[in-house]
Amino acid sequence: MKKNQIAKLEGILQHSSWLEVVLGGVPVEDQESYREKSHDLLVQLLCFHKLHAFIHQGIKQENIQVSGDALVAETDRVVELEAEEIKRQIFIELDLVETEDGPHSL
């Protein structure tokens, strides 16, 4: 997946602004490591959804490389549909919990 597609999908998901809200209860000194981990998780999930789009298009298992430019619109559409699930998975993987006064780390 190309960097410009990742950046576009981050924008669609409003990842940065969502993450700042989520990290509101995390100590400031820990927030950068959470941002890095969140970005890594996001890229993994975006790649998963792009691979899933390829599978639905009938890609064969023996294909080991595919063009980064392929299925961009399909991937965008899937990510838009799965936006809340992607955020939920990142939230869980960051080991954050929702409390009455907002999100906090465990």
Tens of pLDDT along 25-72? 899 999 999 999 999 999 999 988 888 887 777 776 665 566 666 677
Average pLDDT over residues 83-106: 74
Average pLDDT, the chain: 83
**104 φ/ψ angles, rounded to the nearest 5 degrees:** -145, 155
Average pLDDT over residues 89-104: 71
**Per the structure, how many domains does the chain have?**
1
**20 φ/ψ angles, rounded to the nearest 5 degrees:** -60, -40
Residue 22: partners with Cβ closer than 8 Å, 6 or more residues away: 91, 94, 96, 103
Q: Which residue has the higher pLDDT, 85 or 25?
A: 85
Domain span including residue 82 = 3-105
